[in-house]
Structure 1
Amino acid sequence: MTLNRRHVMGLSAAAFGGLVMPRIPALAQEPSLSETFLDHFSAQGFKALEPLSLLTDFGFNGGLRYDDTRADYPDGPSVCVQPSCRVDDIDKAGTPGVLALFNIMMLNFPDASLSASSAELMLEFAIEQVGLDPAKIVYVSTDLFEPYFSESALMQKGRFIQRERGEAMTSGEGSGYFAPAGHPHTPSFPTASVHYPLGNTGLNDASFPLPDHLEIGEIILEDRQAGRPGPVGGGFGLERLALATGRPVPDFTESRVAFLNLARQEAEQAGRKLPAGYEAYATF
């Protein structure tokens, strides 16, 4: 049994406060960030998808949901808030923005005729609804991103740092190319990662990786083999977007508790064993 979006968001809320539900006093008078995101794009005709289960049937990533990638998508534009967890993040505990359980706010545009504005729609939400300063945004990608950056007045308010395409494809981590080794759905496409400074940090002649900047999102670019032109989707890390704009966020310990609770709940509902990834976090 897969938990529905409302149930998943409710379970996550125990530790995630005002990001998912307005528990933290500073956010008590605001809608949750996840609700704002879903409502904003649902009102524009996007289909709100139920999140996939946190527990998967694959050995990859310790049997846990790595990201928002799906085996298939609906015909029209869609939106989702997807809880995820990465086993490798255990070694990064304490790094700003790294959490055991995190949520990806995802947009998808399977219709190429709608894809050209996807990056702008994402950025407009983050700027107008959440409060990012467009002049502080940094985009990291390869030469494939340059035409889109040059044609976007909104993106040009920020800065583009270009990296070598072969290097980006080899790493596959999303700053220029996304292709995690062993991923069960084998995602493989060019991207631009979106970064934002933590505090009063200047760029000067900075190069990737960016010191004192937080990667908050990713824009999926043209997949030439699939014949899809232009930006075709992407998303933001909910908690990272909140951190970038000064909202309270859980720490790693709080997110670990939320992950363990959600994983146990899903396993009980589905009548399945807890995967190796759960054990890695349970014994951390």
Structure 2
Amino acid sequence: MTDFEFPTSLEEACQSLSQSAGEARLIAGGVALMVLVRHQIFFPTRLISLKRIPGLDRIAFDEKEGLGIGALVTHAQVESSPIVRQHYPALAQCVHHVGNLRVRNMGTLVGDLCQADNHSDPAPLLGVLGAKVRARSLRGERLLSMAEFHVDIYETGVKEDEIVTEIVIPPSAPQARTAYLRFSGNSPVDWPILGVAGSLICEDGRCAEVKISVGSLAAVPMSFEAECEALKGKKITAAAIKKFARACTATMEPIPDARGSEWYKKQVAEVYIRRTLETLMK
């Protein structure tokens, strides 16, 4: 028997979560949770719903602070939001690849992130965009970077008594271009074998700043800071892109599984890192 609670404020929700001694679980869209329940992997005895807490369903943008996406905002709402499409078009395009239409209508972006499935489409892109996660508890509030948030498969840096209330994305530089490419071997709605997110700022044909993050290959999204730093100041040519992609994959250790061996995934990663940079240069 599962007990449901419907707090009407964040304070009340934090209080319930703190008093549950780790037994309670939070539910927003419930997509990931219901999959675990249906397959008899998880048997929750106490669920705290966020549905009646005002303000968690908002998408807001500020020129100085950037974009805020509340814990109750679904993938479909992110995808169709005029604000997101105008200021972060790559994010709107990325969430279109999450599951199918039913999943996007029910599941939330915050929930997708908190599930910490290493095949998440939005996770690598949010890292490239410099997103942070706002976590709230009775002890106060804090912001976690994506590097601090991602710990392992199905494990995050969020504490047991904390509620993720919002994803915060800083304003993008006017000249920055951002893209997300994915490869799925079975069908467009299947989990990706890999997803590559990239951001590029060019000045006079030379790289001023580049960020690359690859998801689905390891426990957490992989970034390539040293390789990106080495590309700065250089002219973006076909040869430079190819060299960069090879340098990134040289340090990879993908997890082999039914979708492919380590060797196969490294080959696909090299192709998609190259394609991502080529897309950013168009």
TM-score, normalised with respect to structure 1: 0.27
Whichever structure has more strand as a proportion of its residues is 2
Bigger radius of gyration among the two: 2
Q: Which has the higher contact order (CA 8 A, sep 6+)?
A: 1
TM-score, normalised with respect to structure 2: 0.27
